[in-house]
């Protein structure tokens, strides 16, 4: 089982066990977002370096860690990513999960989610991760480039 699969499994377990626990619901949402974030970071490193086994570990880690949270929403809203339906599916889910992760991690203690809302967000993360892994090679490369590099106008 990969780290991403473990994060999704943990998010699901937290959502299911969260009956009366605000903390477990909040952690389920945060963990679901991080599964998507790590799936995107892995895609970027794999596309830039040809996979983990093809590159020195320090280079793989450097590219993996180059993905920034703030660029995720921005990249998916801009051309050419905005014009590819499957990338928009991923981007929409990533944006919602990122916003909810911020609310979950930083708002003062309050009831933010019902158990069903947690389940829905975890399912959105699972859907995004499945879509990321199923992207065709051309879209994978394009996504990696636009997530990692700023668009500088000429």
Q: Judge whether 93 and 124 are in contact, CB under 8 Å.
A: yes
Indicate yes or no: pTM above 0.85.
yes
Question: 3-148: what CATH class?
Answer: mainly alpha
Tens of pLDDT, residue by residue over 138-148, are 999 999 999 99
Burial label for 112, CB within 10 Å (0-12, 13-18, 19+), is middle
Tens of pLDDT, residue by residue over 93-151, are 999 999 999 999 999 877 788 899 999 999 999 999 999 999 999 999 999 999 999 88
Q: Which two tokens stand for residue 145?
A: 């480039």
Give the sign of the dihedral formed by CA 76, CA 79, CA 80, CA 84. positive
Q: Measure Cα distances from 81 to 9, 73, 78, 127 in Å.
A: 29, 11, 6, 18
Tens of pLDDT, residue by residue over 2-56, are 999 999 999 999 999 977 788 999 999 999 999 999 999 999 999 999 999 999 9
DSSP string covering 38-87, please?
HHHHHHHHHHHHTSGGGS-HHHHHHHHTT--HHHHHHHHHSTTGGG-HHH
* Structure confidence at residue 62 as a pLDDT band (50, 70, 90): very high
What are the structural domain ranges in the chain? 3-148
pLDDT value of residue 140: 97
pLDDT value of residue 71: 92
* Local structure of residue 108 (DSSP, 8 states): P
Secondary structure string (H, E, C) spanning 75-88: HHHCCCHHHCHHHH
Q: What is the mean pLDDT of residues 56-76?
A: 95
Q: Judge whether 121 and 42 are in contact, CB under 8 Å.
A: no
Neighbours of 100 (CB within 10 A): 21
């Amino acid at each position: 089982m990969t780290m991403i699969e473990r994060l999704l499994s943990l998010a699901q377990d937290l959502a299911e066990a969260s009956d009366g626990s605000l903390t477990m619901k909040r952690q389920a949402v945060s963990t679901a977002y991080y599964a998507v974030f790590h799936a995107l970071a892995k895609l970027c490193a794999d596309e830039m370096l040809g996979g983990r086994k093809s590159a020195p570990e320090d280079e793989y880690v450097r590219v993996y860690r180059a993905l920034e949270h703030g660029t995720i929403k921005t990249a998916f809203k801009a051309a050419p990513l905005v014009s590819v339906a499957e990338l928009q599916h991923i981007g929409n889910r990533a944006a919602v999960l990122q916003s909810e992760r911020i609310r979950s991690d930083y708002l003062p203690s309050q009831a933010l989610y019902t158990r069903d809302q947690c389940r829905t967000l975890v399912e959105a993360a699972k859907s995004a991760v499945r879509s990321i892994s199923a992207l065709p090679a051309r879209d994978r490369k394009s996504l990696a480039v636009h997530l990692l590099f700023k668009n500088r106008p000429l």
